[in-house]
Protein backbone atom coordinates (compact mmCIF):
# COMPACT_ATOMS: atom_id res chain seq x y z
CA UNK A 1 0.00 0.00 0.00
CA UNK A 2 1.35 3.42 -0.94
CA UNK A 3 0.55 6.35 1.31
CA UNK A 4 1.67 9.98 1.28
CA UNK A 5 4.27 10.64 3.99
CA UNK A 6 6.59 13.57 4.62
CA UNK A 7 7.74 16.35 2.30
CA UNK A 8 10.87 16.19 0.16
CA UNK A 9 10.68 19.56 -1.56
CA UNK A 10 8.68 22.71 -2.13
CA UNK A 11 8.91 24.48 -5.48
CA UNK A 12 7.64 27.72 -6.96
CA UNK A 13 7.07 29.08 -10.45
CA UNK A 14 5.50 31.94 -12.36
CA UNK A 15 1.71 31.66 -12.54
CA UNK A 16 0.46 30.88 -16.06
CA UNK A 17 -2.67 32.18 -17.76
CA UNK A 18 -5.09 30.44 -15.37
CA UNK A 19 -2.82 27.37 -15.29
CA UNK A 20 0.09 26.24 -13.12
CA UNK A 21 3.64 27.33 -13.87
CA UNK A 22 5.31 25.36 -16.67
CA UNK A 23 8.66 25.22 -14.86
CA UNK A 24 9.53 25.17 -11.18
CA UNK A 25 12.48 26.11 -8.97
CA UNK A 26 13.09 24.26 -5.72
CA UNK A 27 13.31 26.34 -2.56
CA UNK A 28 16.93 25.88 -1.40
CA UNK A 29 16.21 26.16 2.32
CA UNK A 30 15.48 23.41 4.83
CA UNK A 31 11.82 22.82 5.68
CA UNK A 32 11.20 22.71 9.44
CA UNK A 33 10.05 19.27 10.56
CA UNK A 34 6.29 19.03 11.01
CA UNK A 35 5.69 22.57 9.76
CA UNK A 36 3.83 21.80 6.52
CA UNK A 37 0.13 22.39 7.14
CA UNK A 38 -2.87 22.04 4.84
CA UNK A 39 -5.83 24.19 5.86
CA UNK A 40 -8.95 23.42 3.87
CA UNK A 41 -12.17 24.98 5.14
CA UNK A 42 -15.33 23.18 6.08
CA UNK A 43 -18.28 24.27 3.96
CA UNK A 44 -20.94 26.45 5.54
CA UNK A 45 -24.50 25.24 5.13
CA UNK A 46 -27.53 27.49 4.89
CA UNK A 47 -30.87 25.72 5.16
CA UNK A 48 -33.74 27.25 3.18
CA UNK A 49 -36.79 26.30 5.19
CA UNK A 50 -40.53 26.57 4.52
CA UNK A 51 -43.22 27.21 7.10
CA UNK A 52 -44.87 23.86 6.33
CA UNK A 53 -41.97 21.43 6.78
CA UNK A 54 -39.11 20.62 9.11
CA UNK A 55 -37.05 19.41 6.13
CA UNK A 56 -35.09 22.05 4.17
CA UNK A 57 -36.45 23.00 0.76
CA UNK A 58 -32.84 23.47 -0.31
CA UNK A 59 -29.43 23.49 1.33
CA UNK A 60 -26.94 26.06 0.03
CA UNK A 61 -23.29 25.18 0.63
CA UNK A 62 -20.57 27.84 0.45
CA UNK A 63 -16.96 28.24 1.54
CA UNK A 64 -16.52 31.01 4.06
CA UNK A 65 -12.85 30.71 4.97
CA UNK A 66 -9.61 31.06 3.02
CA UNK A 67 -7.74 27.85 2.25
CA UNK A 68 -3.97 27.58 2.30
CA UNK A 69 -0.81 25.53 2.60
CA UNK A 70 1.78 26.80 5.04
CA UNK A 71 5.33 25.79 5.88
CA UNK A 72 8.30 27.07 7.87
CA UNK A 73 11.84 27.37 6.54
CA UNK A 74 14.88 27.14 8.80
CA UNK A 75 17.11 30.25 8.62
CA UNK A 76 16.47 30.87 4.91
CA UNK A 77 18.87 32.70 2.62
CA UNK A 78 18.18 36.39 1.90
CA UNK A 79 16.93 35.63 -1.62
CA UNK A 80 14.17 33.41 -0.19
CA UNK A 81 13.12 36.14 2.25
CA UNK A 82 12.78 38.58 -0.67
CA UNK A 83 11.08 36.03 -2.93
CA UNK A 84 8.21 35.37 -0.52
CA UNK A 85 8.22 38.48 1.68
CA UNK A 86 9.23 41.21 -0.74
CA UNK A 87 11.99 43.67 -0.02
CA UNK A 88 15.53 43.47 -1.33
CA UNK A 89 18.22 40.80 -1.11
CA UNK A 90 21.84 41.80 -1.64
CA UNK A 91 24.14 38.85 -1.05
CA UNK A 92 23.18 37.53 2.38
CA UNK A 93 21.51 40.77 3.47
CA UNK A 94 17.71 41.11 3.33
CA UNK A 95 16.00 44.46 3.70
CA UNK A 96 12.28 44.28 4.43
CA UNK A 97 9.81 46.06 2.14
CA UNK A 98 8.37 49.44 3.13
CA UNK A 99 4.81 48.30 2.26
CA UNK A 100 2.98 44.98 2.28
CA UNK A 101 4.06 43.21 -0.93
CA UNK A 102 1.76 41.43 -3.38
CA UNK A 103 3.40 38.09 -4.16
CA UNK A 104 1.74 35.48 -6.40
CA UNK A 105 3.37 32.19 -7.40
CA UNK A 106 2.44 28.66 -8.34
CA UNK A 107 3.49 26.47 -5.39
CA UNK A 108 4.12 22.72 -5.55
CA UNK A 109 4.69 20.55 -2.47
CA UNK A 110 6.06 17.05 -3.14
CA UNK A 111 5.86 14.16 -0.66
CA UNK A 112 8.50 11.54 -0.03
CA UNK A 113 8.42 8.47 -2.26
CA UNK A 114 6.51 5.55 -0.75
CA UNK A 115 5.50 2.33 -2.47
CA UNK A 116 6.80 3.60 -5.82
CA UNK A 117 4.72 6.80 -5.73
CA UNK A 118 4.96 10.37 -4.57
CA UNK A 119 2.23 12.98 -4.22
CA UNK A 120 2.29 16.50 -5.64
CA UNK A 121 0.06 19.24 -4.24
CA UNK A 122 -0.11 22.32 -6.47
CA UNK A 123 -1.66 25.72 -5.80
CA UNK A 124 -2.08 27.24 -9.25
CA UNK A 125 -2.28 30.90 -8.16
CA UNK A 126 -1.06 31.29 -4.59
CA UNK A 127 -1.14 34.61 -2.74
CA UNK A 128 1.97 34.42 -0.58
CA UNK A 129 2.27 35.98 2.86
CA UNK A 130 5.50 35.43 4.80
CA UNK A 131 7.08 36.53 8.06
CA UNK A 132 9.91 35.77 10.41
CA UNK A 133 8.04 33.64 12.89
CA UNK A 134 10.51 32.29 15.39
CA UNK A 135 13.66 33.93 16.71
CA UNK A 136 16.81 31.91 17.24
CA UNK A 137 17.18 30.76 20.82
CA UNK A 138 19.37 28.47 22.88
CA UNK A 139 17.50 25.34 21.75
CA UNK A 140 15.52 26.52 18.71
CA UNK A 141 16.24 27.83 15.25
CA UNK A 142 15.09 30.92 13.38
CA UNK A 143 12.02 30.11 11.26
CA UNK A 144 10.40 31.90 8.34
CA UNK A 145 6.68 31.09 8.04
CA UNK A 146 5.27 31.06 4.49
CA UNK A 147 1.51 30.87 3.94
CA UNK A 148 0.24 30.19 0.40
CA UNK A 149 -3.44 31.08 0.00
CA UNK A 150 -5.45 29.35 -2.73
CA UNK A 151 -6.92 31.92 -5.14
CA UNK A 152 -8.96 31.55 -8.32
CA UNK A 153 -7.10 30.48 -11.46
CA UNK A 154 -8.81 32.56 -14.14
CA UNK A 155 -7.56 32.94 -17.71
CA UNK A 156 -7.38 36.28 -19.53
CA UNK A 157 -10.52 35.12 -21.40
CA UNK A 158 -12.38 34.79 -18.07
CA UNK A 159 -12.39 30.98 -17.89
CA UNK A 160 -12.11 29.65 -14.33
CA UNK A 161 -9.77 26.66 -14.02
CA UNK A 162 -9.11 24.48 -10.98
CA UNK A 163 -7.16 26.38 -8.31
CA UNK A 164 -5.68 23.28 -6.60
CA UNK A 165 -4.32 19.96 -7.87
CA UNK A 166 -3.41 16.80 -5.94
CA UNK A 167 -1.74 14.12 -8.02
CA UNK A 168 -0.17 10.74 -7.25
CA UNK A 169 2.71 10.17 -9.65
CA UNK A 170 5.11 7.29 -10.24
CA UNK A 171 8.44 7.96 -8.55
Q: What is the pLDDT of residue 168?
A: 97
Q: Which helix (H) or strand (E) holds 135?
A: none
Q: What is the pLDDT of residue 83?
A: 98
Rounded Cα–Cα distance for residues 108 and 103 (Å)? 15
Q: Characterise 109 by phi-psi region: left (phi > 0), alpha (psi -120 to 50), beta (else).
A: beta
Q: What is the pLDDT of residue 171?
A: 87
Domains of the chain: 7-162 (2.40.30)
Q: Which of 85, 39, 46, 74 is nearest to 62 (CA)?
A: 46
Length of the chain: 171
What pLDDT band is residue 2 in, cutting at 50, 70 and 90?
confident
Q: What is the pLDDT of residue 17?
A: 96
> What is the 8-class DSSP label of residue 85?
H
pTM comes to 0.90
Rounded Cα–Cα distance for residues 87 and 144 (Å)? 15
Tell me: the pLDDT tens digits for 53-86? Answer: 999 999 999 988 899 999 999 999 999 999 999 9
Contact 13, 22 (CB under 8 A): yes
What pLDDT band is residue 1 in, cutting at 50, 70 and 90?
confident
Amino acid sequence: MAIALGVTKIEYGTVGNGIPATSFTEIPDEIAEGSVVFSFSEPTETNIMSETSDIPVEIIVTKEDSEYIEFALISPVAATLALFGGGTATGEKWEAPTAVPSVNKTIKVTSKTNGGYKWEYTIVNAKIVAKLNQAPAKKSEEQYLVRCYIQSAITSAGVANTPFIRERVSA
